[in-house]
Chain A
Amino acid sequence: MTDTATLERTCEGTTASLELTHALTQTLYREARLLDDEHYKAWASMLAEDLHYHMPGIETRYRRDKTEQVTDLTRMAYYNDSKPEILKRLSRLETGTAWSEDPATRYTHIITNVEVELTEKADEFRVYSNFYAYRNRNERDEDSLIGNRIDIWRQVGNSFQLVKRRAILKHNVMLSKNLNIYV
Chain B
Amino acid sequence: MLLGEDEMNDNIADLVDSRTGRQSRSIYASEDIYRQELERIFGRCWLFLVHTSQIPKPGDYFRTFMGEDDVIVIRQKDGSIKAFLNSCTHRGNRICRADRGNARAFTCNYHGWSFSPDGALAGVPLENEAYFGELDRTKFGLIPVTKVAEYKGLVFGCWDANSPSLDDYLGDAKFFLDVWLDAMPGGSALLGETQKMVLGTNWKLPVENVCGDGYHLGWAHAGAMAAVQSMDLTGLSVGNSGVDLDGGLSVAGMNGHMVLSALDGVSGYAFYPDPKPILEYLEANRQTVIDRLGEVRGRQVWGAQVNITIFPNLQLLPGLNWFRVYHPKGPTQIEQWTWAMAENDMPEAVKAQILENQCLTFGLAGLFDNDDGDNLTACTEQSRGWRTAQMDVYTNMALGRSGKREGFPGDIASGLVSEHNQRYFYRRWQEHMMAETWAEVPTYNINSLTDEEAEHA
Contacts and interface: CB of A to CB of B under 8 A. Distances in A.
B98 A98 contact: no
B377 interface: yes
B335 interface: yes
A93 B363 CA distance: 17
Interface in B196-249: 196-200, 220, 222-224, 226-228
Contacts of A61: 98-101
Interface size class of A (residues with CB under 8 A): 35 or more
Contacts of A59: 98-100, 193-194
Nearest to A56: B193
A3 interface: no
Contacts of B363: 76, 78
Interface in A111-129: none
B273 interface: yes
B355 A173 contact: no
B333 to A, nearest CB: 11
Contact of A89 (B222, B360, B377): B360
A81 interface: yes
A94 B251 CA distance: 36
Q: Among A59, A61, A98, A179, find the residue whose CB has the most chain B CB atoms closer than 10 A.
A: A98
A99 B198 contact: no
A26 interface: no
A77 interface: yes
A62 B98 contact: yes
Given A75-B192, A79-B359, A178-B364, A62 B101 contact: yes
B364 A78 contact: yes
B57 to A, nearest CB: 13
B387 interface: no
B198 A75 contact: no
Nearest to A63: B98
Given A65-B98, A88-B227, A97-B226, A174 B371 contact: no
A67 to B, nearest CB: 8
Contacts of B364: 78, 174, 178-179
B369 interface: yes
Contacts of B373: 100, 177-178
B101 A80 contact: no
A88 B365 contact: no
A158 interface: no
A78 B223 contact: no
Nearest to B197: A174
A168 to B, nearest CB: 14
**Residue of B196, B228, B363, B365 ringed by the most chain A CB atoms within 10 A:** B365
Nearest to A98: B223
B322 to A, nearest CB: 12
Contacts of B91: none
Nearest to B201: A177
A10 interface: no
A60 B97 contact: yes
A89 B356 CA distance: 13
A17 interface: no
A81 B360 contact: yes
Nearest to B366: A178
Contacts of A101: 223, 370
Interface in B130-147: none
Contacts of A173: 196-198, 335
B409 to A, nearest CB: 34
Nearest to A169: B364
Given A57-B193, A101-B370, 8 more contacts: A57-B192, A59-B193, A65-B102, A76-B192, A77-B359, A99-B220, A100-B375, A178-B364
